[in-house]
């Protein structure tokens, strides 16, 4: 079953390669969506894929790259039907 998650990742997640780590992991797991830095120091992402792949992606995001320190992953409710993404990109 294909699912979507909208996440806000807190901690030391900017300036440590977190977005590019996210793209690499998404490509390995065949996850679609996007990732972006936010002005409040967090990283925001939407991940879409098979249930098991999305669960694995969330585990990898909790660890992040070696230079990151994730303190919290906040799940943002998706109220409307999610957009269908194709591929994974960094939003600027």
Instruction: Strand 32-37: give its sheet, edge to edge.
Output: 69-76, 2-12, 43-50, 32-37, 88-90
- Residues 10-34: pLDDT tens digits? 999 999 999 999 999 999 999 999 9
43 assigned to some structural domain: yes
* pLDDT over 80 (residue 81): no
Residue 8: the pLDDT is: 98
Catalytic residue among 19, 38, 60, 92: 19
Pairing of strands 2-12, 32-37: unpaired
Q: Is the pLDDT of residue 60 over 80?
A: yes
Query: How many domains does the chain fold into?
Result: 1
pLDDT at 47: 97
Residue 65 sits in a domain whose CATH number is 3.30.70.100
Range(s) of the domain holding residue 45: 2-80
pTM of the model: 0.94
Please report whether residue 91 resides in a domain: no
19 assigned to active site: yes
What tokens appear for 84 in the block? 């269908």
Distance CA 38, CA 41 (A): 6
More confident residue, 61 or 79: 61
d(CA 12, CA 41): 8
CB 7 within 8 A of CB 38: no
Is 37 assigned a catalytic role? Answer: yes
**Does pLDDT of 82 surpass 80?**
no
* Band of pLDDT at residue 80, cut at 50, 70 and 90: confident
Catalytic residue among 37, 60, 79, 84: 37
User: Does some domain include residue 89?
Assistant: no
Look up tokens 């990151």; give the residue. 68
């Amino acid at each position: 079953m294909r699912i979507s998650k909208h996440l806000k990742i807190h901690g030391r997640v900017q300036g440590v390669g977190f977005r590019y780590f996210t793209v690499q992991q998404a490509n390995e797991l065949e996850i679609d969506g996007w990732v972006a830095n936010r002005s409040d120091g967090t990283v925001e992402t939407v991940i879409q894929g098979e249930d098991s792949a999305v669960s694995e992606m969330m585990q990898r995001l909790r660890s992040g790259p070696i230079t990151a320190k994730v303190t919290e992953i906040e799940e943002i409710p998706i109220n409307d039907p999610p957009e269908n993404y194709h591929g994974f990109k960094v939003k600027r």
